[in-house]
Amino acid sequence: MRLAHLPAAAIAQLVALAIPPRCPGCGVVVEADHRFCAGCWAGLRFLGNPACAACGAPMAVDQGPGMRCAPCLHQPPVHDGVRAAVAYGPVARDVALKLKYGGRLALATTMARLMVRHLAADADCLIPVPLHRRRLWSRGYNQSVLIAAALGRMHGVSVLRDSLRRTRPTPPLRGMSGRARATAVRGAFIVADPAAVAGRSVVLIDDVHTSGATVDACTTALRRAGARRVTVLCWARVVGTDE
């Protein structure tokens, strides 16, 4: 019998035998695609409530609705909150790096499957944090676009891939002070088509949230273009003493 004449389920079983699904974290064989092994699953810290009502940072104790963390009381964020599937840690970092630099494009769907529960109910559109064209040419893809596309398929929300643009290359922000990071990305983003975001609830999509300088700059550009609400959704965020 030719392969083309086999039922789809039989073909899937043959493919699974030849190329078994592997854990996104460590690579051991697992029972299905996008599934983590028990060890890597235990190594993920899933985020949710209780969280700061302003920035979404996890809080140790539920202090009731509307409670804000100390940094937000001192200086409210420009966005309407950041949500992340997991806290940044060894497993979350390895998955992000495999997607970002290792060409493991299917991991965008792995991330999106755990992110989708945090997607704002009133989301009108998803906008990935853009790369500068030089970085895009050298890497070949934008990991945030891949994640946004996967989320859009799962939730039926439109993805505006080119509405937000990075007008100039920015240096790596790692190791910079908060003020230096903000200066490095200030004015680096524009909205190419303001009508596409005006009056809409926008969800910015990124892979890892650290200091927030980049999403703040993106949010400022979207606000100026008339976005009604801007929330941020990412795979992992740095929390606690590492933030």
Domain ranges of the chain: 1-42, 48-242
Other CB atoms closer than 10 Å to residue 179's CB: what's the count? 9
Render pLDDT for 133-152 as a digit per residue (tens, 0 to 9).
888 888 899 999 999 999 99
Indicate the CATH number of 48-242 among 3.10.690.10, 3.40.309.10, 3.40.50.2020, 1.10.3720.10: 3.40.50.2020
Tell me the percentage of the chain whose pLDDT exceeds 90.
63
Please, which pLDDT band fits residue 18 given cuts at 50, 70 and 90? low
- Beta-strand relationship, 189-191 and 82-87: unpaired
pLDDT for position 4? 55
Q: Residue 143 corresponds to which amino acid? A: Q
pLDDT for position 11? 45
Would the pLDDT of 3 be above 60? no
DSSP element (H, E) containing 15: helix 8-18
Burial degree of 128 (CB within 10 A; 0-12, 13-18, 19+): buried
Sign of the torsion angle spanned by Cα atoms 212, 217, 220, 225: negative
Render pLDDT for 185-223 as a digit per residue (tens, 0 to 9).
888 899 999 999 999 999 999 999 988 899 999 999 999
Would the pLDDT of 61 be above 80? yes
Render pLDDT for 78-116 as a digit per residue (tens, 0 to 9).
999 999 999 999 999 999 999 999 999 999 999 999 999
pLDDT for position 168? 87
Alpha helices in 70-212, H assignment, sequence order: 70-74, 90-100, 107-115, 133-139, 143-155, 178-185
Render pLDDT for 218-242 as a digit per residue (tens, 0 to 9).
999 999 999 999 999 999 999 864 4
Do the beta carbons of residue 37 and residue 30 sit within 8 Å?
yes
Would the pLDDT of 176 be above 80? no
Nearest CA-CA partner of 229 in 189, 190, 202, 194: 202
The verdict on pTM exceeding 0.85 is: yes
Taking the CA atoms of residue 173, residue 150, residue 230 and residue 76 in that order, the dihedral angle to the nearest 10 degrees is -50
Which residues are within 8 A (CB) of 69 and not within 5 positions of it... i.e. 6 or more apart?
Answer: 52, 54, 55, 57, 59
| Gyration radius of the chain's alpha carbons | 19
Which residues are within 8 A (CB) of 45 and not within 5 positions of it... i.e. 6 or more apart?
Answer: 86, 87, 89
pLDDT for position 170? 80
